[in-house]
Structure 1
Amino acid sequence: MVKELQPMVTFFAGTYPYQVRINLWYRQDYLEFECVGGTHPHVGAVAYGDEHVELLYQFPDHKEGELLRSLIKKVQKASGSIVVGSCGIHVDNATWEEIQLLVHHAERCGEEMERFLFYKEKA
Structure 2
Amino acid sequence: MVKCEITRVGEDDLILVTGGTKPHIGAIVLCTWDGIQAHVVSHGLPHHKEEKLYIELAQLWCTTFKKNVVLTGGIHIDNATKEDIEMLVNKTWESFFLLMANNKVSIIK
Normalised by the size of structure 2, how large is the TM-score? Answer: 0.89
Deviation, 1:28, is 1.2
Task: Supply the distance in 2 between the matched residues of 1:20 and 1:118 (Cα, whole angstroms).
Answer: 20
Higher relative contact order (CA 8 A, sep 6+): 2
Aligned AA (1:43): I
> Which residue number in structure 2 is paired with residue 14 of structure 1?
none
- In proportion to residue count, which structure has more helix? 2
> Which residue number in structure 1 is paired with residue 32 of structure 2?
50
Gaps of 5+ in 1: 1-18
> Which residue number in structure 2 is paired with residue 92 of structure 1?
78
> Which residue number in structure 2 is paired with residue 8 of structure 1?
none
> Which residue number in structure 2 is paired with residue 23 of structure 1?
5
Task: Supply the distance in 1 between the matched residues of 2:59 and 2:102 (Cα, whole angstroms).
Answer: 15
State yes or no: 1:105 paired with 2:91.
yes
Deviation, 1:99, is 0.8
Task: Supply the distance in 2 between the matched residues of 1:34 and 1:70 (Cα, whole angstroms).
Answer: 14
Question: What is the total number of aligned residue pairs between the two structures?
Answer: 105
For the Cα contact (< 8 Å) 2:21–2:77, is it kept in 1?
Answer: yes
- Map 1:63-82; keep pairs closer than 5 Å: 63-82=49-68
Task: Supply the distance in 1 between the matched residues of 2:87 and 2:99 (Cα, whole angstroms).
Answer: 18
1:117 to 78, 97, 103: 103
> Which residue number in structure 2 is paired with residue 37 of structure 1?
19
CA RMSD, 1 decimal = 1.2
Identity of aligned residues (%): 26
Normalised by the size of structure 1, how large is the TM-score? Answer: 0.79
Task: Supply the distance in 2 between the matched residues of 1:50 and 1:66 (Cα, whole angstroms).
Answer: 17
Task: Supply the distance in 2 between the matched residues of 1:80 and 1:120 (Cα, whole angstroms).
Answer: 15
Deviation, 1:117, is 2.2
Task: Supply the distance in 2 between the matched residues of 1:95 and 1:29 (Cα, whole angstroms).
Answer: 39
